[in-house]
Chains A and B, each alone.
Chain A
Amino acid sequence: MANVILKNLTKKFDDVVAVNNMNSTVEDKAFVVLVGPSGCGKTTVLRTIAGLEEATEGDIYIGDRLVNDIAPKDRDIAMVFQNYALYPHFNVYDNMAFGLRLRRIPKLEINRMVHEAAKILKIEDLLKRKPKQLSGGQRQRVALGRAIVRDPKVFLMDEPLSNLDAKLRVQMRTEIAKLHQRLNATIIYVTHDQTEAMTMADKIIIMKDGIVQQTGGPQEVYDHPNNMFVAGFMGSPAMNFLDAAITDRMILKGGMFELNTADRIKKIIKDNNLIGKEIVLGIRPEDLEDSNFVQNIPANSTINANVEVTEPMGSEIYVYVDIEGILITARVNPKSKCRSGEKASLCVDIDKMHLFDKDTEKSYI
């Protein structure tokens, strides 16, 4: 096992900068998720680590060894591809054994290793089948099997679950997490799905336009996003953003609302000299509740607005209200009587608000 270090990594395709001066460390045995919208450069980072793309600038270290000029096969990595990339003309056994045979491992040893990996992934019954005869989930297991059988230093996974249906995806998510614990391996995992990132990662690296936006643990990036992009990207439904001005008495004032601030927020306002300034207020949907279900509502902590749509989820209701032309999402108690077309009063958890700079979109701390 080994750590992976990226130093000033830049990758350009002609004039397009896919990865811009990235500095990151993946600790030994960590499960690191690279997440971002499509085209953000996350897959390029993974492919550069794998050696399938050459870094334009910067250095890549795997286990303290500079690997810039080392061929993929000598980097001691295994990659799981989005479309599985199983060899269609080999059966499952041969798919898993292929890499071992190329390394001239004795036959008996190969046999033992393949069966061991197959046992871990519960695909022992499938060893004689061709990929065509497998379901999506089974193919995914074989692709994982092909990776783990080689016992590499680092696993690279490129959106391995995106071709599975929703239910299977949740199941495989847990299995990959379990696999990580069992193998004690370093895993770098690329996805565009923030839920996968939140649920599986020890550390999340959020990227946009080739630039790392924030690196941190799942709860850390959720609770303390660096900027509006991270705040909006992590969490589902996404964080709501409202324009607001800060009054002399540290009240957040928008066109349709006036909100008091908690002590924590007051400190941020003081530290950043925000009195009298325009800011962007961020509120997570779970920090908005139907006022009928909140006891002891503090003064100036509700927003009244027209309900546009309600989406009952069973355990809660998503209520979409219109505030100055912006659709705001609230996750409210399932017993809420909010109806579309009617007015609703939503109570804001004033301790959990996020303040962002209007121009730089950076978070105030």
Chain B
Amino acid sequence: MKQSRKERTIVILTITPSVVAVGVFVYGFIAWSIRVSLSDWIGIRPDYTFAGLKNFISLFKSVRFLIDIYNNIFFTILFLAICVGGGLFLAILLDQFIKGEGIFRTVYLFPLAISPVVSAVVWKWIFSPKVGVNVLLTNLLSKIGIERTVEFGWYTSTASFGPFNIALIPIIIAASWGFVGYVMAMYLAALRGIPAELKEAARVDGASEFKIYMKVILPLLKPITLSALIILGHISLKMFDLVYVMTGRGPGFVTDFPSIFMYETTFAANKFSQGAAISLVMLLMVAVVIIPYLTMSLRRET
């Protein structure tokens, strides 16, 4: 269909501001970050002396950064597993047309509306070694006749399970609490979109309720699972506010993340070139997750 000149003018006028804004503030600043990461900029005054890949080389030699990457990957795997598994479970439960469904839906979704900084403070109290759940566990034990003070270090613990720092557990719980309702909402919407006839056809075909979910419903939820993994994946790889407020880098970097490292390097130590290098590595990690998704959805559209 051929557009009239007037239509084309309107299209150009409406698209231009966002194209310019995205061009400057996203791609422009990415380019600037790349330039800074290749420089020697330390201190307040900009210094664009070309320094090659020096910042990246020193980054991958830094023990802290390698720990950060480890932490972030383990965090991401568990965070995704809990959110997707828990979200699916809650959605299937809610999809049984129970009474008070609206209330449950709101309750599950509510954490998403709370600022991560606020929930971080609350979770920090809950998992504080001297108060919080430890007190609760101590009381529960005394109820069944065991007089003993529970002393888990939680996020102050430096113990690890293989390469996985146990101190990450409270953060994973806090982060999952925030997002499990979101995944639930995605799955619930998809479940509601599956025609009831499909389940009935399977029932007449001879499938048990369990088989109906395994063979018919779950395969149909695959695209939602993929979207959830990607959306949560990039959130997880950039996770900052919750961790920074709840625990910071932790003793021996047990709860350190690349984002915290980047923040401290750039804005506390004023090593702008090194900070830019960290942020670019983070960008690459996110890109690994996002780009296949974008190409896939673009291909589907054309």
Contacts and interface: CB of A to CB of B under 8 A. Distances in A.
B103 interface: no
Nearest to B218: A89
Nearest to A143: B201
Interface string B108-126: 0000000000000000000
A86 B202 CA distance: 9
A82 B196 CA distance: 12
Contact of A72 (B195, B203, B215, B222): B203
A106 interface: no
Interface string A46-75: 000011100000000000000000011100
B197 A73 contact: no
B220 A79 contact: no
B204 A88 contact: no
Contacts of A86: 201
A167 interface: no
B162 interface: no
Nearest to A74: B206
Interface in A72-86: 72-73, 77-79, 81-83, 85-86
Given A83-B195, A85-B195, A85-B200, A102 B206 contact: yes
B31 to A, nearest CB: 42
Contacts of B205: 73, 98-99, 102, 146, 150
Main secondary structure of the interface of B (DSSP, over half): helix
Contact of B219 (A85, A89, A103): A89
Interface in B202-225: 202-207, 211, 215-216, 219-220, 222
A52 B195 contact: no
B128 to A, nearest CB: 48
Contacts of B206: 73, 99, 102-103
B198 interface: yes
Contacts of B195: 83, 85
A98 B204 contact: no
Contact of A85 (B198, B215, B220, B222): B198
Given A85-B195, A99-B205, A52 B200 contact: yes
B203 A52 contact: yes
Contacts of B202: 87, 98
Contacts of A103: 206
Given A89-B219, A102-B211, A73 B198 contact: no
A150 to B, nearest CB: 8
Given A85-B198, A88-B220, A89-B220, A79 B204 contact: yes
A71 B201 CA distance: 13
Contacts of A88: 220
Given A89-B219, A98-B215, A83 B197 contact: yes
Nearest to B199: A85
A51 B204 CA distance: 8
Contacts of A89: 216, 219-220, 222
A79 B200 contact: yes
B207 A79 contact: no
A47 to B, nearest CB: 8
A87 B216 contact: yes
A29 B264 CA distance: 81
Contact of A79 (B201, B211, B216, B222): B201
Contacts of B216: 87, 89
Contacts of A50: 200, 204
B93 to A, nearest CB: 22
Contacts of A81: 197, 200-201
Nearest to B194: A88
A150 B205 CA distance: 9
Nearest to B200: A52
Interface string B186-198: 0000000001011
Contacts of A98: 202, 205, 207, 215
B42 to A, nearest CB: 56
Contacts of B200: 50, 52, 72, 79, 81, 85
A85 B197 contact: yes
Nearest to B220: A89
A359 B180 CA distance: 63
Contact of A73 (B207, B215, B222): B207
A78 B195 CA distance: 18
A51 B197 CA distance: 13
Nearest to A156: B204
A73 B220 contact: no
A85 B201 contact: yes
Contacts of B203: 52, 71-73
Contacts of B215: 98
Contact of B204 (A72, A82, A83, A87): A72
Interface in A154-202: none
A346 B205 CA distance: 56
Contacts of B222: 89
A185 to B, nearest CB: 15
CB-CB nearest 7 A-B residue pairs: A99-B205, A73-B206, A85-B197, A85-B201, A102-B206, A89-B219, A81-B197
10 contacts: A52-B203, A73-B206, A73-B207, A83-B197, A87-B216, A98-B202, A98-B207, A99-B205, A102-B206, A102-B211
Given A73-B204, A85-B195, 13 more contacts: A52-B203, A72-B200, A72-B203, A73-B203, A78-B204, A79-B201, A81-B200, A86-B201, A87-B202, A89-B219, A98-B205, A98-B207, A150-B205
Interface of A: 50-52, 71-73, 77-79, 81-83, 85-89, 98-99, 102-103, 146, 150
